[in-house]
Amino acid sequence: MQVIPELETGGAERTTLEVAEAVIAAGGRAIVVSQGGPLVAEVEGLGARHIEMPAASKNPLVLYQNRVRLEKLIRAEGVDLVHARSRAPAWSAHGAARAAGVPFITTYHGIYRARSSLKRAYNSIMARGDYVIANSEYTAQAVLAEHSPKPLAIPSRLIVIHRGADLRRFSPDRVTVDRVAAIEQAWQGGKKLKILLPGRLTEWKGQQDLIEAAQILRKTRQETDFRIVLAGSDQGRSGYRAALEQAIGAAGLEGDILLPGNCDDMPAALSWADIVISASRRPEAFGRVAIEAQAMARPVIATGHGGTMETVVDGQTGWLYPPGDVAALAERIAAFAALSGPERQVIGAAARGNAAENFSVARMTERTLQVYRKALGMDVTGKDG
């Protein structure tokens, strides 16, 4: 049984579906408990059971009521293992699993900052699993720094399992010409250098840095003609979107940088791009964009901190640059623009190989099932140990 606040369209939610599918494929039953959301139909379409519960609530009374509900559910359904993917439902799931005598697993999909002892105590539930999964080495080090030796008294319980890209969906061979043509019609890249920065419009994702780098390119590398697309929703941050539009106008780049909102076909968008940018100002716990771009055989230019340090091989599958250094970002883009077609293809092939070998959904789900087997007293082959 996996417990998550809601089934929206984020990375933790998508991982929940992927693990549920793997459990079913391995001959198990999968239950997902959440408050609901757009992905419920997909969960049920996989053959998993979804049970609605106010799992996103942080109200202490609701947390207790959820604990009681979950314990009853565990006993009624014969649940063998509980996996929590967020703090609020983890408190309820932890109590229910302990009362029912079944293993309790947690996954850190991000890094929780604590500015007080109270918040640190609230966050600590994620380190109380029989096994604690971190989505990167960067995340694992943050967990150890925050929660060792208490409550994470046994560091070997902390296991790094990188997130995976769905290589069936993010595959250059599966994106049709028509799908890329539809993106081109909307974004009008033509023969220009096509640069894509995917991600919600928020200051820490670094869209402003890419605008400044583009301004440098326009002044110093006039031979580099480009089309930049900042693809993502502002999620109600209309002020930030307005600030980006103002910065684009002030730089004289209105015809060069687009803000199209969400893109419903990211594999085609990545295929359209010549190069993909991940300009996050704060360290990403993992950094899904960098992996999905590489899966589509697209080189990545990314800030050199956080999980991206583990996913981009500098100089081979892309390039890293110092966070916030817009001049360095401009130089990396200019250097890529100067590469020949065959040179770009070599880097793209290396990027695809990196994603396929190290960051596939299949690898992520199999390693997660291995953790489940260990927690259940089985060896990695699924035999009783």
The SS3 assignment for 321 reads strand
| Alpha carbons within 13 A on the beta-carbon side of 337 | 20
Spatial neighbors of 244 by CB under 8 A, at least 6 apart, are 201, 207, 208, 211, 230, 259
Which pLDDT value is given to residue 385?
Answer: 39
Domain 2-164+361-375 of CATH type 3.90.600.10: no
Residue-wise pLDDT for 205-253, tens only, equals 999 999 999 999 999 988 889 999 999 988 888 899 999 999 999 999 9
The SS3 assignment for 254 reads coil
Which pLDDT value is given to residue 9?
Answer: 77
Two tokens, residue 236? 């109600």
For residues 311-344, b (16+ Cβ closer than 10 Å) or e, as one string? bbbeeebbbbbebeebebbbbbbbebbeeeeeeb
Two tokens, residue 159? 């296991």
Are residues 113 and 32 in contact, defined by beta-carbon separation less than 8 angstroms? no
Quick one: DSSP state of residue 318? E
Are residues 286 and 139 in contact, defined by beta-carbon separation less than 8 angstroms? yes
Are residues 208 and 248 in contact, defined by beta-carbon separation less than 8 angstroms? no
Are residues 86 and 12 in contact, defined by beta-carbon separation less than 8 angstroms? yes
Domain boundaries, the chain: 2-164+361-375, 172-358
Are residues 145 and 275 in contact, defined by beta-carbon separation less than 8 angstroms? no
Two tokens, residue 211? 């605008």
Which pLDDT value is given to residue 206?
Answer: 96
**DSSP element (H, E) containing 338:** none
Confidence of residue 42 (pLDDT cuts 50, 70, 90): very high
Two tokens, residue 98? 């302990």
Q: Which amino acid is at 77?
A: E
* Whether residue 135 has pLDDT greater than 50: yes
* Whether residue 79 has pLDDT greater than 50: yes
Per DSSP bridges, beta strands 158-160 and 257-261 are: unpaired
Are residues 293 and 276 in contact, defined by beta-carbon separation less than 8 angstroms? yes
Chain mean pLDDT for the chain: 95
Are residues 48 and 13 in contact, defined by beta-carbon separation less than 8 angstroms? no
Rounded Cα–Cα distance for residues 225 and 343 (Å): 19
The mean per-residue pLDDT over the stretch 325-329 comes to 98
Confidence of residue 113 (pLDDT cuts 50, 70, 90): confident
**Fold designation for 172-358:** Rossmann fold (3.40.50)
Q: What are the C-alpha distances in Å from 97 to residues 17, 199, 372?
A: 21, 36, 14
Residue-wise pLDDT for 172-194, tens only, equals 999 999 999 999 999 999 999 99
Two tokens, residue 29? 């039953």
Percentage above 90 pLDDT, the chain: 92
Per DSSP bridges, beta strands 82-84 and 2-3 are: parallel
Are residues 380 and 373 in contact, defined by beta-carbon separation less than 8 angstroms? yes
Rounded Cα–Cα distance for residues 213 and 331 (Å): 8
Which pLDDT value is given to residue 166?
Answer: 92
Which pLDDT value is given to residue 11?
Answer: 85
Nearest C-alpha neighbor of 7 from the set 28, 38, 45 = 38
Confidence of residue 382 (pLDDT cuts 50, 70, 90): very low
